[in-house]
Structure 1
Amino acid sequence: MGKTIAIANQKGGVGKTTTAINLAASFAVLEYKTLLIDADPQANSTTGLGFDLRNIQQSIYDCMINEGQAADVVLGTEMEYLKLLPSHIDLVGAELELINHPNRENVLKKIIAPVKDQYDFIIVDCSPSLGLITVNALTAADSVIIPVQCEFFALEGLGKLLNTIKIVQSHLNTDLEIEGILMTMYDGRLRLSNQVVNEVRQHFEDMVFNVLIHRNTRLGEAPSFGKPAILYDPDSNGSVNYLNLAREILQKNDATKITNQEKILAASDEQRDT
């Protein structure tokens, strides 16, 4: 059964969607069957994988409101091991439409259940809010990754998110874990970046991933070409960072599947070191 990981932070501009797209793509490159669920009405994960919203016939909205089946809505991508459950602007109204639903916090969990066994990883890109859709994602998830940018006010709102996670753990999903806090937009040349990383690591200790996501032009350019960074520029720092994040998560979860691609990448790394 696949592991569902929500990418959540109600603070905008922290690299949440960038993380969702590129972590999912990295798992796919390592030949893990991966489903990316775009649960953000802005639909940036959908467009970031090259889809034109005008051509989307069905989306996660249809699954949540019209009881559509995920298997009928999931789209293939140019990566063999990566699929997408797209979003649409219609999702903006979903929270109001679900308000009287008798089991409203568990709608997404119910949508995922029939397809969960088909994937090794399911990545959920949450909206930058702590509304009902995000609560649905946390209720459906096995764990959550919290992106935090290496900038002033980095911890702003983090306490509120952690409190929401605790509430979900207490009342809706007792098995929910924090996969890790991910430091994004890191620039080693800046004293502030290093100060923020040190502060977060002192406060949260081993909850913080070892991998840092460096500020990288290619990560910003790739979505405009409808590609994850690992397809747009495989050798860029951003691509390597997210591939290493995927490896760190696999190691943390004691994943035993070693693919030919991973062996090739490891051999390539060793060759560069010699």
Structure 2
Amino acid sequence: MPIHQVFHKDILDAFNLDRAAVWFSLCSGAFDPISLQIVALFDDINTRRDYYEVINNTPTRESFPKVIERIKTLQQRSSIFPDGAALTVSYQGTNFELETLYDLVGWIFSVTGKTPDDATPANFYYPLVILYTQWCRTLCANENKEPQMVQITWFPQESIKRVCLGSNLDRPKGARKEAARTKRFDRLVKDGLAKEDERLKSYVDEGGQLIGHCAETFPMLFIKSLGNKVTMKDVKGVAVKPFAALAVLDKFAVPNTDTLRKELLEDPCGNCKVVLPRLGTNINLDNFSIYNL
């Protein structure tokens, strides 16, 4: 079952959650019932992994309980970053260290649900990244800690359609963000997507972010881990500005004017234009353009 169909099989209901359940929670004195519903859903996915079509890979499925427990801890603290170390989780048999709330929720979205055969940016991919953004905002409950960019990548893995979602590290500023960025960069180097002499080098405008900050980082690493199972020429994606995208009236509609696309979306930055092609010679950067969504 696609994750956005969990609540009444409709993206709008998933975004707003079940109003009747919210009212019941309020009457029962529950704190922040919306976020508690999201966490309860994640628990249900863990319990009924086949029903929710979680990727049938043992290490991936065994990662679910600890991912949910970490999300619960962050939700209770209204925090993006944990007090302790990053959490090691599996994506289809390969281990990755995930740190932020957005990366952990993005992992759940990336391993749960079947992408419909007729999926398009309009009917699935763009609404899914908006839902991801809203649920993360609800769980964090602190807009001052939110990242300023999220990203969804979609691709065929042999005969199966997959999605990966992630966020950048713009917020919060400080040492913890740089430590997380360094950890991401080290993994990019290990997987051949970055070079050691690029550790403190930026391909974006002067004063721009370093490699590893970008929202595309974990989607790229997940795809890289799958090797030749992915048809690189068919890998596509888009970066979305969550503050702007959640503020428009018709949130789930793909931006259909030049003005809206520039306001809500973002082309790959200079760093991504260097790193993305290292996934494979057949990667097409045009597939990540705001005009090809």
Normalised TM-score (structure 2):
0.28
* Greater RCO structure (CA 8 Å; 6+ sep): 1
Higher percent of residues as strand: 1
